[in-house]
Each structure stands twice: as structure tokens, then as C-alpha cells.
Structure 1
Amino acid sequence: MSTLPRTGHAIAADGTRLAYQWHGTGRPLMLLAGQANDHTWWDRTRGDFPSTITMDYRGTGASDAPDSAYSTTGFADDVIAVLDGLGVGEADVYGTSMGGRVAQWVAARYPDRVRRLVLGCTTPGGKHGVERSNDVRLALARRSSVEARETLTDLMYTPAWRAANPGPYRVLGAHGMPPNAVRGHLVASNGHDAWDVLPEISAPTLVLHGDDDLLAPVANAPLLTERIPDARMHLFAGARHAYFDECRPESSDLVSDFLG
């Protein structure tokens, strides 16, 4: 794989500049990060795949941060804008956490653009989704404090894995996000509800989840699997929200095998 990614900006329908990073060659795997995170979410795992495209959501990284409404459907449109800008007609899509919510909309609204779909540590949202506890919500609301950052890290990784892997961790939020973007990402993630369109997803789908995930409770995994036609599911025993990081290489191997 090339060590120098192809980078640049695509332009969304509203003129927002969206930063992208394309590593490797061949059929691309579009990797979508969690809420209020940029492409560095995938720093430890992108090298497990021969060709990946990542992006900085609006409001993160090198993308613009317009002071406008953010939503998971809007983020899905941004994903298509990036693929269009790169001349990619069809891609595999792998979204984790809020990225999994975005990926649901990409697959449902743009079925001809998604060959295979992987949904990790995510939820259908709305009244059918299983919500995180109020304690977790309070911890996330205080994400700028040292205590909250420690709580978030604990929600991501098991103590044993953290002891053996002291960091730095790339899944704790993008640096330098303006307040409007932080609020926008929170509203987008909390407002997600794709339940009604999940049966319309036609791409073969793999649902992955850690069975000790309190950030996006594991009960959401069977909901997605049962709602999406012919979806399959795998749970990682003892893993928390960042299973894709802690459970490497097993998780990446599962994804690679699924994508063929």
C-alpha cells in the first residue's frame, strides 16, 4: 500500500469543502468515523485494507464547519459528494458508531453506490433503538473535561487492553472543533432514525458489535440484523465501543473476508 495518500477536498451541494484521504489502490472501502471525529479515527485500522477512503465530516479536521443544521442524512449526502469528487461509482462502506448511522442512509438512499455494507457498534436510532444510559449521556456532555475524557476512554476500551496499549487514542474526538460543530454532531447523532428505511437496504450487510458496549448498547446489533434483509451479525466477547481497534486483527479479518 502506498504510504502517501491522495488527499484533497470535494464540494458538497451547499458548497461546503469536505476533506478526503485515499490510501492504496483497487476497489475502495469507504470508512466512516464516529461522532465529532475525523479521519484519524481509522489510523490504526485503515492499513488492514488494500484501498480505503476516509473523510473529515463537516465540522471536523480539514473540512469546513458551516453554521447550519447537521444530520446523518446530510452526512450521507456528503459521503456521496466525496465519492463523486473522486470519480468512484461504487464502493464498499464500513461505518462505526455515528458513522454506522450515516452508512445506513448511504445504503438506503443510494443503493447503486454501495456494493457491501458493514455496520459497527451502531444503532437504528429513534424509538426502536436502545439508548445509552443517562450516566453515559452526562459523561459525553462533559467531553471537554479531563474526567469526561477518561470516562470516554473507558467506554471505548477494556482496562486490560489499555494497560497494554497506552495510546494515544484517536477515537476521543477531533481537535479544534468549533462549538457549533460539536453541537451539530450531537444533534445529528441523537436525531438519527433510519428504522423505516432499513428494510430497503439491498447491499449484503455485516453487523459487528462488542458485547460490553455501553456507548451504543449491544442490543442494537440484533435489531439491525433482523431489520436489514439477509444481514449477518458477529459479536466480540468482552469488547467495548472501539472493538475495531481492540479486537484487531480478528475484526479486520472478518470484514476483509466479508468483502471478498
Structure 2
Amino acid sequence: MSDFSLPETRYALSGDVSIAYQVMGSGPIDIIMVPGVFSHVEFMHELPGYTAFLRRLSRFARVVNFDKRGQGLSDRMPDAPSLEERMDDVRAIMDVIASQRAVLFGFSEGCPMSVLFAATYPDRVSHLILVGGFSRAADRMPDELWEARLEHMVKFFGSGDMVKTVIASHSNSAEVISKFAKLERLSCSPGAMRTLLVLNRQIDVTSILPTLQVPTLVLHRKTDAQVPVAFGRKLGEQIPGAKYIEYPDGDHCFWVCEVEAQHGDIQEFVTGHREVVSADLERVLVTVLFTDIVDSTGRAAEMGDQHWRRLLDEHDRLAREVVSRHRGDLVKKTGDGILATFDGPGRAVRCALAMSLRRPRDRSFLAIWAPYRRDRD
């Protein structure tokens, strides 16, 4: 994020509780980012893609992110906060920044709270955006499986284990797992997380959905491993006049994977138009690495579908691991190869050599790299 300083952390008083928040941008529209189950307003910027996502929204809006009470840099609490208390925190932040009306951007667990706020204070919400959300927490897992799942989550809290479901595409990246583990530890303690998860199990805003009178956009990714897409579809169906958009792939966390279409859909929903070309794009010089399994068609026919599928799975695992270790960005898989970018040709060449040396058994790779200039957020 060169030439871009991170926002200052400030505090708003919600009753006698201090709520940490940050403001990015100065657009005419306010967007309040309502976080998922845990957060840390400062360390979240260490996660790949998070700052860039907020920065993109800040081109047309004033973007506010915050830590719920008991989380991150906000005051710790002896008990988990109710949805009503979390609503008070949003209202306190809006009052401090003099926001009369705002777009609520609810993510995951933040969706039910956003729904409740929009139904309670419709005059203070211009638009409602729900990403990776659900209406009734107990529907996500039957009671007979819940206790075991709770114990597992608490036992491994702070280890980055949740990456497997929230950022599944990076589940083999040691760097991402390490950063996510630190985010968990900074957000709260395992005991506090247990208390919060038990309380969240009772969340149910199903009866409120038909009463919503705020323009609503529901976004969900079909391959969301944390909140299955069926819950997003149900959410969209139960809100009168809601616009539902489903993306074919991607992770639970909204700031990773393909985000360009999501940005356009959000901007169009809020402003009535989407940005096609921006004059203030940051120009960077990157190096492209393209790999390809030699004679893949012939080898697939020779090996048979099952054996070939195992080889491709091994190839994809290896590619994610090696690209991540060389600080690259895995842009996409091409079926029998990958496309990745690096901030310098040296890392791209070393990555290509590493992949060749560690290629799946008895298989060869072609690696082609070339520096080029592109525009990116």
C-alpha cells in the first residue's frame, strides 16, 4: 500500500464503553463496516487484500470499520454483548462522526446485527449490504454436532485453524495462517470467544426480515466454506425487494479472491453507477509467472481421469505453497497450470525454478515470466 497511510484509530463512547473505530475516505456516503465474529481494527490491515478493499470503497464513500465491544481495541467485557448492545455501538460511532444516515455493510455474524439495526432505525440506514450472512445461527449446525464443534473451535482458537473455512483458498499458506492466528489472539481470549459463540448460537432475526423497509443487497459466494450459500439464498428470499447476487467461487472473507465484480455491484447498488475506469489507479511494475504442464492432453489420456486428477490436485497444492513462499500473488489456476504475479523478476524466476525442482513425480513444467505494467488498486 505505497503512498497510502493507514487510518488513525479513534474511540467512541457507547454508554461507558469505549469502541475503537477508524475512518477512511471523505466521500459523501457513509459506509459502516459491521465485522464478523472477531476483529482488530489495526491488525486487520495486515491481512492481504483487506486494506485494498476498504480503500476501493473509500473512492466514493467515507468508510468506517470498528471493533465490537469486547473485541480488538474496544473495551473488554465480562460477558458477551447482545445484539442490542452491538446496535448501540454502531449508533454511538455514527453520532461521533456526525453521520445522520449510512450504508450498513454487514459481514457474516455482522449481518443479523445489521438487520436488527436497519429494522429498528430505518431512518438512519440508507442501504443494507449483507455479505456471507445468515438469519438464524442454529440452522447452520444441528444441536448434536454443535458441542463438539464449539470445543474444537475454542481448543484451536489462536492457531489460525479457521483459515480452513474462512479463507480456504489460502489454507496452505503458512504466512496467511500465521497472520490469521495472530488476529484471533489479538481479538479476544479463548474463553471470551466461547462465551460469544454460545450467545451467537441464539441469534435469530428471521421474523424481522419481512419487516425491513431499507434497500437491501445480499452477496454470497457459492463456494463459501464457512456459511453455506443456501443461507445467503434464504436471506435474500426473505427480505422484501432484496437484490441477491451469487458469485460462482471465492472464500468467506469478502476481501480475498475475485473482488472486482463485488466492488462494482456494491458501488452500483449504493450510487446508481459503477466505476469503469479510474484515473487515480496506482501504477505498479509486476512480473507475471505462467506455468503449464507439458503435453497435458496427451498425458491425461495416457494416465486416465482418476490418476490425472490426483496429479492436478498435487500440482495445485504445490503451486499455492511455492508461490506463497516466494511472496507472490496466485491470480488464478488454468486447469493444467497457474498464473501468478510478483513484485520483481528475481522472485518469479526463483519460484519457477523451485516448482521445476519440486514438480509432481515424472512431470515437467514450462515457466514463462515477463515484466509488465498494470493498473491495480
TM-score range, shorter chain: 0.7 to 0.9
Structure 1 or 2, whichever has the larger Rg, is: 2
- The aligned runs of 1:34-53 (5 Å cut-off) are 34-39=36-41, 40=44, 42-50=50-58, 51-53=62-64
Which position in structure 1 is the counterpart of 2:7?
5
- Residue 213 (1) aligns with residue 224 (2): yes
- Residue 116 (1) aligns with residue 127 (2): yes
Which position in structure 2 is the counterpart of 1:131?
141
Instruction: Name whichever structure is richer in strand by fraction.
Output: 2
Tell me the amino acid that sits aligned with residue 156 of structure 1.
Answer: V
- The aligned runs of 1:49-128 (5 Å cut-off) are 49-50=57-58, 51-125=62-136
* Cα offset, 1:230, TM superposition: 0.3
CA distance, structure 2, for counterparts of residue 85 and residue 214 of structure 1: 37
Instruction: Structure 1: state its 5+ residue gaps.
Output: none
Q: 1:154 aligns with which of 151, 164, 175?
A: 164
Change in 2 beyond 3 A, CA 1:79/1:187: farther
CA distance, structure 1, for counterparts of residue 37 and residue 197 of structure 2: 7
Change in 2 beyond 3 A, CA 1:136/1:55: same
CA distance, structure 2, for counterparts of residue 241 and residue 3 of structure 1: 27
How many residues get paired?
A: 254
Q: Which secondary structure state, in structure 2, belongs to the residue aligned with residue 246 of structure 1? A: coil
Q: Which secondary structure state, in structure 2, belongs to the residue aligned with residue 17 of structure 1? A: strand
Tell me the amino acid that sits aligned with residue 155 of structure 2.
Answer: R
CA distance, structure 1, for counterparts of residue 128 and residue 108 of structure 2: 14
Which position in structure 1 is the counterpart of 2:24?
23
Which position in structure 2 is the counterpart of 1:193?
204
CA distance, structure 2, for counterparts of residue 44 and residue 163 of structure 1: 22
Instruction: Structure 2: state its 5+ residue gaps.
Output: 272-377
CA distance, structure 1, for counterparts of residue 121 and residue 38 of structure 2: 24
Deviations 1:46-82 (CA, angstroms, capped at 9, x unpaired): 1111220011111122110121341223212211111
Q: Which stretch shifts more, 61-70 or 199-208?
A: 61-70
Higher relative contact order (CA 8 A, sep 6+): 1
CA distance, structure 1, for counterparts of residue 40 and residue 163 of structure 2: 17
* Cα offset, 1:258, TM superposition: 1.1
| Identity %, equivalent residues | 24
- Give the root-mean-square deviation of aligned CA atoms: 2.7
Which position in structure 2 is the counterpart of 1:231?
242
Contact 1:2/1:24 (CA < 8 Å) preserved in 2? Answer: no
* Cα offset, 1:21, TM superposition: 0.4
Contact 1:18/1:78 (CA < 8 Å) preserved in 2? Answer: yes
Contact 1:136/1:215 (CA < 8 Å) preserved in 2? Answer: no
CA distance, structure 2, for counterparts of residue 120 and residue 162 of structure 1: 21
* Cα offset, 1:187, TM superposition: 3.1
CA distance, structure 2, for counterparts of residue 91 and residue 183 of structure 1: 32
Structure 2 length normalisation: TM-score? 0.61
* Cα offset, 1:219, TM superposition: 1.0
